[in-house]
């Protein structure tokens, strides 16, 4: 279990669980699935001999596991069922003050796009940090992030929220 | 912070504002089903132990049918060789 003993894990868990839960919940769009993923991510992290030392390394590793679990679950179609609980898109909404519209727009992105945007904008991570969190190359992050932001921009434009291209 | 290289400032501002709204979204309130740290630690250790037992057991599981097959072959050969003496 590397240098992560029980006391260190308890401290790490206390500091990281709420942030990870918020990340997974927002990317998955389903609270029950998110809690399953968070639990599984912690369990997998604990069952692995961590090579690096330090909480930041553990955190990156934890986010990477969670991100992979999200994508796996999405591929199996479970996440799509969860996203189906978001209200159906109807007429274009010119503004997005209400939570349902924000959730709906964000839910139209692919899970990986949601993960990228969350890590970049909400967590404020650099390309290198996102690459470590998602287990992809740094160049890949730049391209994927570009596509995710462009897709979000298009979704916002389609609703009249963003008018100038 | 991530450096941007494609959207214009207005687009970037709107995307960033939208993501700020996403960050503030509240999920439907429900009690967390995530076990506490002590429970996760115990569960992980238990699963590790099961994995270790399964790894240790695997050669035995593999060998068992081989042993049975070997025993049957040996019994067959023994019967084959001893049959002329028995008749």
Q: Model confidence over A50-82: pLDDT tens digits? A: 666 688 888 888 999 999 898 888 777 754 555
What mean pLDDT is predicted for residues A130-157? 88
**Cα separation of A40 and A37, whole Å?**
5
CB contact under 8 A, B40 and A162: no
Nearest CB to B25 within list A36, A47, A102: A102
Exposure letters A64-102 (e unless 16+ CB within 10 A, then b): bbbbebbbebbeeeebeebbeebeeeeeebeebeeeebb
Could you report the predicted ipTM of this complex, rounded to two decimals? 0.71
Nearest CA in chain B to A161: B14
Q: Please say if the pLDDT value at position B32 is more than 90.
A: no
pLDDT at A92: 47
Tokens of A145: 């992030």
pLDDT at B5: 59
Q: What is the pTM of this model?
A: 0.70
> For residues A121 and A145, is the Cβ–Cβ distance under 8 A?
no
Please give the C-alpha separations between residue A38 and each of A14, A54, B57, in angstroms, as whole numbers: 13, 20, 30
Phi/psi of residue B3, nearest 5 degrees:
-90, 135
Nearest CB to B44 within list A43, A145, A153: A43
Asked if B9 is an interface residue toward chain A (Cβ–Cβ < 8 A), one would say no
What is the count of residue pairs from A and B with beta carbons less than 8 Å apart? Answer: 116
Residues of A in contact with B10 (CB under 8 A): 162, 164
> For residues A26 and A18, is the Cβ–Cβ distance under 8 A?
no
Please give the C-alpha separations between residue B42 and each of A3, A89, A151, in angstroms, as whole numbers: 17, 44, 43
Residues of B in contact with A152 (CB under 8 A): 15, 18
């Amino acid at each position: 279990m590397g240098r992560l003993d029980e006391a260190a894990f308890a401290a790490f868990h206390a500091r990281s669980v709420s942030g990870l839960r918020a990340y997974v919940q927002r990317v998955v769009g389903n609270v029950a699935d998110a809690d399953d993923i968070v639990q599984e991510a912690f369990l997998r992290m604990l069952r692995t001999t961590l090579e690096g030392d330090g909480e930041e390394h553990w955190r990156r590793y934890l986010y990477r596991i969670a991100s992979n679990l999200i994508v796996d679950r999405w591929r199996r179609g479970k996440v799509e069922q969860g996203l189906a609980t978001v209200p159906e898109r109807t007429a274009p909404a010119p503004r997005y003050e209400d939570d349902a519209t924000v959730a709906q727009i964000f839910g139209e992105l692919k899970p990986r796009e949601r993960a990228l945007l969350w890590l970049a904008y909400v967590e404020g991570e650099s390309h290198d940090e996102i690459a470590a969190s998602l287990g992809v190359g740094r160049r890949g992050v730049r391209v994927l992030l570009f596509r995710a932001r462009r897709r979000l921009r298009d979704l916002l434009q389609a609703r009249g929220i963003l008018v100038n291209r | 912070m991530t450096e941007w290289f494609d959207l214009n400032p207005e687009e970037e501002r709107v995307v960033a504002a939208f993501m700020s709204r996403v960050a503030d979204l509240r999920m439907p309130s429900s009690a967390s089903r995530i076990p506490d740290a002590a429970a996760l630690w115990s569960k992980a250790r238990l699963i590790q132990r099961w994995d270790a037992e399964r790894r240790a057991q695997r050669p035995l599981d593999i060998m068992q049918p081989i042993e049975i097959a070997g025993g049957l072959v040996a019994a067959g050969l023994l019967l084959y060789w001893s049959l002329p003496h028995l008749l």
